[in-house]
Every structure is written in structure tokens, then in C-alpha cells.
Structure 1
Amino acid sequence: MMSNWAPGHQLKDSRYTIKKILGKGGFGIAYCVLDTKLNRDVVIKTLNPELKAQAYFEKLQQDFHHEARCLSRCSHPHIVQIYDFFVEEELECIVMQYIPGENLNDRAFRGITQKEALNYIYQISGALQVVHKNNLVHRDVKPANIIIKPSNNEAILIDFGIAREVDIKIKTRALTECFAPIEQYSVDAPQEAYTDIYALAATLYFLLTKQKPVDSQTRYFHINQSGKDPLISPQQLNPRISQQTNNAILQGMKIFATERPQSILEWLNLLDQAQKEEVSPINFTSVLETTLPQTTIRENTTSLNHSRKRYSNNRQNQQEFNSISTNRQINNLLWIIAGIATLALAVIFIVSDKPTNSCQKRGILTICRHIADVPNVPSLTKVLYGGSTLFSLKLNKLEIYRIQKYHPQFQLEHTDNFPSGEKAGSSTGIKWLLEGKISFAQTAYMMTEKPKLEAKNKGFTLREEPIAYDAVAVCVNSGLTSQMLKSLTFKDLENIFQGKVTNWKQFGGPDLKIILFRLNHQQKQDYVIEQFQESVLKKQAYKTNIRELAKPREVINALTKTPGSISMLTVSQTINKKDIRVLPIAKDRNSLAVSPCADDKCTAVNKNLIHEDYYPQELNDKLYVVIKLDSGFDEQAGIAYANIMLSDEGQKMVEEAGFIPYRRVTR
């Protein structure tokens, strides 16, 4: 495994000499480097070399190169400059301006006036206007990403590592709590200029109050539950803030994006009305005499530590404080002790008053951490449900056991068939739901308009809620090793499954006949067949002599016993199947070939590749719960089941079954 570059290591034909590592994260490393040609310090950013073993490394390299192009388009005196980029030891390197100085986070705690804060905000606003003009969103504006140059006391916006073009489909959920708006907690939510406006307003909030604002997810939860926003007005924390500045901050930090200013210029027009008078640095006593914000204990503790530093600095630096009498100092000390006691009591109150179940309303659903906390679970003698065989093969036994452990009154009973003889499947489950035979259905693909219209004619609505991802996996006999066959493209697969290519040597592999397997054509309810035919074969027919088998396990057995064989399954069906190999797939020759598995033996699914769309989207799909909105027991049962499966514990259960959780559960 390649190690980091050590001090003294030379790059690009000795042009650059490594001095030290400035910072290292899971994806990237930043080095302080001497440019020997121009005799100046620069920053070189590159990917963490430990990632080179990952299947998605080439895609990361492409994104990293994209960052360089983004930065080169954004020329502005308050944006970090990019000088050069090159490849060294198979790693993309970006050479950037080195900016000595402290970041705005540290500067704020030394004391900053409203006039100074606004000046820095105006400078960064100008930088963001250029960013947005280039159809980019920075998406990580925060005090720590703003450096103050000591030479001219000007602010420079740095770290565009998570910038992405607005209109691309791949979105990364990278955020900094307390400065990130609510849309950044969702992979699918649009993110545009208003996203950076929220972060910039939150930055100004922090600069003027020395308090991090309540994070947007907590605010969103409280607004939905009670209609009350727990965000403390910045003017409450620092009464010296002008009313206009206070209003501009709150307007920029509106929870819902449509209520915020939609451009930097629009937000600046609010600030332009603000008073520009000097405001002395906020001190510890004035903070304690205002209403305490209902933030986390960690934030309160951090605030307390920083407040102590400010108090100490003010004692040393402010002339008026030095002239205070001994009695006044003692009196102030008593106020400080009282303030600390008040803060401690507030922390105790927050701990004792914290609700035991942390649930969040989301439309008709209520998302909780624990299955036991899910509300409104019905008490019914029997709740029949069914549909996709993927669920019954992997999940249903596990989920019934777990659910009834916490909600024994919720008597779930999964069914695979009825006396009519119909076999289970996604479309069959929807049919059963329409006929009133089951309370909710499980499907492996989105409904068409036909069942929705039929439901409407019967006086109710069908609603699908995604609970997991699964993906189509292209599998071959394990004898076709990566040395023989590295990957295939969509065009290759089209040629194979339509019989246009019949031997692996045509792909540079061994002289071996290609044998095709597939699930029985009558199993149209299996989404793998339909998804593959729709996306890869472009709705054309399969090869006529393809061998059809009745069940997924029969396909797996055939693959293990037949050299040169190929088929498609879901990735959840391929986990730990040692005698088959899951192939990396690319959309075309110019795209990165990616496997949905975490390793060559497919011991697990790589969740990040699926969530971030590195694996071709055409081969990804979601697993749904179809809820019957009829204001009756079926609706209550369907919503309760969806709530349970989308809880943190429910999503971990989904993962145990071999699927990819729909929600990103980090704890």
C-alpha cells in the first residue's frame, strides 16, 4: 500500500518539494510544498493513496480533476487560486495558492466587530457570486473554510472539495452541521445558490454571537412537531447587532429554501440596509445575561470554553478593563460564577428534558431511531402482506421476528400465494392490494399508471415509499477471472444477450463459448428481467436460445457448474456466492467500470457506490412498500410498516438482509 509523501519528497521532475502535511481526511491530503522554480510555498492537494485499491478510485480521480477545472473557472481575489495540476505516481495533483493566516473561526473568538464581520461577509459574497455564475455551488461555506490573509486582512474562500455542478445527478451528502441547510441532509434535494446563502448567513450568525446556530435538522424537526423554531435570534445573544443585520441573518437562514433569498445579490440587498456602526467585541458577561440557546450539550460546553478565553483576553487587552477597581473585578467574578452555574443548570435541564424517542415527521411518515419508538402501530389480529419474492427470500422472516419483539400486537403474516394459484411477485402484490387481499404490498420497481388509475376508480390512492436499494448484478462463472475478463460495457452485454457475440475470446478472454442463463420468461414480475431488457437491451428481445430457469438459486447453481456462463441477478442474491463472479460494468468505453460489490469476492455490497451513483444508475433500483391510502386499517398498517423499516434499526435490518439501506444511518 502506498504511503503518504514524506518531507523532502520531490514531485514533477523536482519542481515541487514536500515540506509537511497540512491536513488529511478520508478522501484527500493537502501538503505544504516549496515551488523551487518560483521559490514560494504552495499547497498541493491529492487523493489519499490508500484509496487506490478501491474499485471507484478512477471515478474519484475524474471528480478530483473536475475540481481543478471548477476552480480554474472561478477567478476572484477572494477565492483561492489554482496554479497547476499534474499526475504523479498515478495520483491527480492540484497546485494551489498557499494562504498563511488564521481561519475565520479562530479570528471570531479573539473578538470581532459587526463592521469587520460584515466586511468579511461582503468579500466572500463576491466570491460566491462568481461561483454561482459558473453554475457551481460551494456547499461547505463555514468560518473554518475562510482564511484571513495577515498581509491585507482580507478573507479568502477555500476548500472547494465538495463543489459540484448544479445540474448533475450525482450529489454527495457532505455537510457541516450548524452551517448546512436542510436540503443538504437529502441526497435528492436540489442545491443551488440558496444553499450557500444559508451557510453564509449562519457564518455571520456565528461571527456576531460566538455561538453556533441550532442545526437545520433539529430546527426542521421542531417546526414540524410544534410549529416553533428553536433558533435563537442573534440579537438576543448580542444586543449590539443592528435590527437590519439581525433580520438579514434570519431571512438567509429560513429552513425552507423557497423562503430564502434566491441569489447572493438579493441577500446582500438586505444587508445593505444594515447599520455599519462599530460594535465592541462581545464579552462573556453579556452572553450569560441573554437567553441561553437550546443547542446540544457539546455546543454549550464549547461556547463556555471559548467564553472563558474571551474573558481572559479582554482582561489582558482592553484598557478600560484594567482601570476597573478591585471591587468591580470581584463583582464581575461573582457574575461569571453565577453565569457558569446558570449554564450548568441549563445543561442539566436539557439532559433531563430530552425526549426518549427521537422521531422526525416526514410527510405521512414518522422516522425514528428505534423500532420500539415508532408511533401508531395498529393492534390487529392479522395483517396480511406480500409481493416481491426478493423480500420473502431475504427479509420477511427477519423483519417479522424483530417487529413482533417490539410491537407484539402488530400481527404480521407474509403470504406467497393464494388458493387461486397466483405466484408472488411485485405486480402480483399490487394486484392483491387492489383486490383487498392484503393490507400493503412489497415491490421491486415503481408502479405504472395503470394500477394507480384503478385504485383511484375504487376510491383510494396507492402510494409507494422506498425502503431500500438493490441493483442488477451481471454474474459469470468464477473461472472467468479478472485477468481473463476485466469488465463489460452496456454494448457488450447487448451483443451477448442478443446472440451477436458467442465466444469470450471476442472480448480478449479465453476461447470459450458463452452460455446464457436467465430466470423463466413467465416470471415477468421479477424486475431484474424487465430492468435489464429496458436499460441494457433497449427494449429488444433476448437471444432465443437463452436457457431459462425457475428460481434465482437455480440460476446460481447453473453459473457455478457451467464454464463460460453469464446471467443477471440482484446484487443481494450474489453475496458470498464463492463460485460466481460479479463483473464491473461501464455504460460505455469512456466510462468507469464499477462493481456493486465491496470486494472481488462480493462479501458485501458497496453502499457508497450505489448511493453516489458510481454504479450505473440504469442498473440500480429501489425496493418499495406500497401503501393503500384509504383512511382505514390498511393505511394504518402500511404506514406503520414503512415507519418501522425506515427507522435506524429497520434500515440496519435491511442491510443485514443484503440490501442497501435507503437512508444513510451513521449511528
Structure 2
Amino acid sequence: MWQTVKRWIDDNWTNRPHKPGTVIANYLIDEVLGSGSYGIAYLARHTGTGQSVVMKQVKPSLRGSPKGEAMQAYEARVLQSLSHPAFPRFLDHFTWQRQHYLIMSHMRGETLETLLFERSAGFTEREAVTMVKRIAMLVLHLHERRIIHRDVRIPNVLLDGDRLQLIDFGLARFLGDTPAYSADSLDDYPAEKQLKRAVHPHSDLYALGHFLLFLLYSTYEVKEGQEEKSWEEELSLSPAVRAILRRLLQHDPPYQNIEELIDALTLYLQGKTVSF
């Protein structure tokens, strides 16, 4: 019973977001962007320069826990190691009134999630593959710097005109580091979550497989009374894209690195044979 009460207290009191208009150190909060498992995100402005930024606050209920300030400090270290216009830029990291905050550049645009589910955007097979290749190129940039994103999903990809951006590095890890903050192993997690959270290129490759599926389903029409089937039965795909998906989702031997995937996507877009 106590755990239920504590969750209610955390959700309704301890972890209440700051209200718009609140000033935190040198930043004025304009909007609450959202709240996740570990933090609260705000759109804010620097009171001196007027620069628009994103502010991430560690959830107060997690203060002092492995998933609190230590996790945020790790994200700050990842962002500090990057310098690319498609990724958020680290600006500041500080403690204010015992709360912990990370400041990064504000990336403008709409998420792929919004485009798919609110604006009903549709992608042909070729458009979907083109989009995934562009994201794969960003993932390649990370992998070359020994960073595994571990959260490549449609809410974390922004489109600003033709400009593509990848955000939310809260789960990113450097290769060689442990996959979890509170334990050295993912053994207690279900098998799929172990794969998603592994500090290995396969994690991002698997995520890109699901990303591609979301795009391909954007033009799929469900007929009334139709029973749900597997994606292989529901989607009309070329043999090449079917083969790419099967390897990404590890139904067949997976790609060993992001370069292999990019090569396969490039061959498809050039109209050449993709090896199965």
C-alpha cells in the first residue's frame, strides 16, 4: 500500500513541473514540454540573451538515486562530446535549490510521431527507406564516436523543413560502459528490452527496424473485420526491403554494424540487388 501512496505523492506533488513564468537560475520557463520516467523537459529562455533552450530537470523523487543526477550528468557528458547540427548542443549543467538541470539547444521542428499520427503523413516504400537511410547516417556519426543512442524512435526524430534531427540522449551510452545505471546487467529484463538497451550497435539497428516498420505502415489500410497478421503478411513489400527488415529485426542474421545497413539501403535506392 505504501508504494501506491508514494507513487501518488510523487506524481501529484513531488514531481509536479514548474509553472510557465518560473525563473530557474538564469532561465525563464515558457512551456512544459513533457515528463518522462526520469525527468521533466521545459522550453525556456535565457534571461540575459533571450536564447531559446530546452531545460531538463531530474525528477525530484529520483534525487540521490542512480537514475537521478548521475544519469543526467552522463547525458551531459554525451552531449559535450558531440558537435553536429543534427544533435542538441550542450549549453549548461547546474544545481539550483537542490534540483538538477541540464540545458541544451532548442531543436525546432515536428516529430515523426506527430507527422504520422496527427498529420496522417504517408510514406511510400522508397520514401521510407530514404528516411531511414538519413537517420542511419546520423547513427553512423554516433557509432564512430563510440556512442549508442538506444532510443531511436519516431518521437525522437524531428523534421524542420528538409532538415532531419535526432534528439533525446537520455539513454545514450558510450561503448564499453555498463548498460544500466543501477546494475551491471540487463539479465532481469525481458529479452526484447535487453536488446533495445544493450550498449551495442545491434540496439540501434533493431530500433531502426521498428522505425522503418512505422513508416511503411503509414500507408497501410485496415479493412473492416480484418484479423491482425504479421507485418510480413500485411505489408506488400519488395523482396529487398523485406530482407532488410528481417535482418534489422533479427529474424535473419543481423547486420553487424550500421555501415552494412547503409550499404544495403543504398543498393536498394540505386535499384541494385540487395544481398539476402
TM-score (norm 1): 0.33
Tell me which of 75, 93, 99 is aligned to 1:91: 99
Cα displacement (A) at 1:17: 0.5
1:143 aligns with 2:151: no
Please list the CA deviations of residues 190-244 of structure 1 after superposition, one character each: whole Å capped at 9, or x if unmatched: 54001100111220121012399xxxxxxxxxxxxxxxxx8432xx5443x4432
Cα displacement (A) at 1:8: 1.4
Tell me which of 236, 246, 265 is aligned to 1:271: 265
Tell me which of 73, 80, 93 is aligned to 1:72: 80
1:163 aligns with 2:172: yes
1:100 aligns with 2:111: no
Q: 1: CA distance between counterparts of 2:98 and 2:238?
A: 53
Q: 1: CA distance between counterparts of 2:109 and 2:247?
A: 31
| 1:7 corresponds to | 20
Contiguous gaps of at least 5 residues in structure 2: 1-13, 183-189, 221-228, 272-276
| 1:132 corresponds to | 143
Contiguous gaps of at least 5 residues in structure 1: 174-180, 213-229, 278-667
Cα displacement (A) at 1:119: 3.2
Give the AA of the match of 1:205.
Answer: L
Indicate the SS of the match to 2:155: helix
| Equivalent residues of 1:242, 1:275 under 8 A apart | no
Q: 2: CA distance between counterparts of 1:135 and 1:72?
A: 14
Q: Structure 1 residues 186, 247: CA separation in 2 closer, same or farther (over 3 Å shift)? A: closer
Across the aligned residues of Structure 1 and Structure 2, the Cα RMSD in angstroms comes to 3.0
Cα displacement (A) at 1:255: 4.4
TM-score (norm 2): 0.75
Q: Structure 1 residues 107, 191: CA separation in 2 closer, same or farther (over 3 Å shift)? A: same
Please list the CA deviations of residues 11-60 of structure 1 after superposition, one character each: whole Å capped at 9, or x if unmatched: 23xx31011210012320000102233323211011012333xx526x62
Larger Rg over CA atoms:
1
Cα displacement (A) at 1:125: 1.2
Cα displacement (A) at 1:78: 2.3
| 1:117 corresponds to | 128
Alignment of 1:324-403 (within 5 A): none
Q: Structure 1 residues 193, 5: CA separation in 2 closer, same or farther (over 3 Å shift)? A: same
| Equivalent residues of 1:183, 1:191 under 8 A apart | no
Give the AA of the match of 1:243.
Answer: P
Q: 2: CA distance between counterparts of 1:2 and 1:232?
A: 39
Alignment of 1:410-489 (within 5 A): none
| 1:193 corresponds to | 201
1:260 aligns with 2:254: yes
| Equivalent residues of 2:69, 2:100 under 8 A apart | yes
Indicate the SS of the match to 1:160: coil
1:44 aligns with 2:40: no
Q: 1: CA distance between counterparts of 2:204 and 2:166?
A: 12
| 1:27 corresponds to | 38
Cα displacement (A) at 1:130: 2.2
| Equivalent residues of 1:209, 1:237 under 8 A apart | no
Q: 2: CA distance between counterparts of 1:100 and 1:47?
A: 23
Q: Structure 1 residues 2, 122: CA separation in 2 closer, same or farther (over 3 Å shift)? A: closer
Cα displacement (A) at 1:182: 4.1
Indicate the SS of the match to 1:198: helix
Q: 2: CA distance between counterparts of 1:120 and 1:80?
A: 20
Give the AA of the match of 1:144.
Answer: P
Q: How many residue pairs end up in the alignment?
A: 241
| 1:552 corresponds to | none
| Equivalent residues of 1:205, 1:211 under 8 A apart | no
| Equivalent residues of 2:71, 2:170 under 8 A apart | no
Q: Structure 1 residues 98, 210: CA separation in 2 closer, same or farther (over 3 Å shift)? A: same
Q: Which has the higher contact order (CA 8 A, sep 6+)?
A: 2
1:250 aligns with 2:246: yes
Q: 1: CA distance between counterparts of 2:143 and 2:269?
A: 27
Indicate the SS of the match to 2:102: strand
Cα displacement (A) at 1:252: 1.3
Q: 2: CA distance between counterparts of 1:264 and 1:47?
A: 32
Indicate the SS of the match to 2:77: helix
Give the AA of the match of 1:199.
Answer: A
Q: 1: CA distance between counterparts of 2:83 and 2:132?
A: 18
Q: Structure 1 residues 83, 117: CA separation in 2 closer, same or farther (over 3 Å shift)? A: farther
Indicate the SS of the match to 1:273: helix
Indicate the SS of the match to 1:22: strand
Q: Structure 1 residues 190, 31: CA separation in 2 closer, same or farther (over 3 Å shift)? A: closer
Alignment of 1:298-309 (within 5 A): none
Cα displacement (A) at 1:268: 0.9
Please list the CA deviations of residues 619-662 of structure 1 after superposition, one character each: whole Å capped at 9, or x if unmatched: xxxxxxxxxxxxxxxxxxxxxxxxxxxxxxxxxxxxxxxxxxxx
Q: Structure 1 residues 76, 119: CA separation in 2 closer, same or farther (over 3 Å shift)? A: farther
Cα displacement (A) at 1:67: 0.6
Q: Structure 1 residues 211, 193: CA separation in 2 closer, same or farther (over 3 Å shift)? A: farther
Give the AA of the match of 2:231.
Answer: I
Q: Structure 1 residues 112, 65: CA separation in 2 closer, same or farther (over 3 Å shift)? A: same
Give the AA of the match of 1:254.
Answer: Q
Please list the CA deviations of residues 156-181 of structure 1 after superposition, one character each: whole Å capped at 9, or x if unmatched: 111111122332235269xxxxxxx9
Q: 1: CA distance between counterparts of 2:144 and 2:100?
A: 26
Cα displacement (A) at 1:77: 2.8
Q: Structure 1 residues 75, 255: CA separation in 2 closer, same or farther (over 3 Å shift)? A: farther
Cα displacement (A) at 1:3: 5.0
Q: Structure 1 residues 3, 94: CA separation in 2 closer, same or farther (over 3 Å shift)? A: same
Please list the CA deviations of residues 103-143 of structure 1 after superposition, one character each: whole Å capped at 9, or x if unmatched: 11232332223343333322221221122223222111111
1:204 aligns with 2:212: yes
Q: 1: CA distance between counterparts of 2:94 and 2:100?
A: 6
| Equivalent residues of 1:128, 1:264 under 8 A apart | yes
| 2:231 corresponds to | 232
| 1:463 corresponds to | none
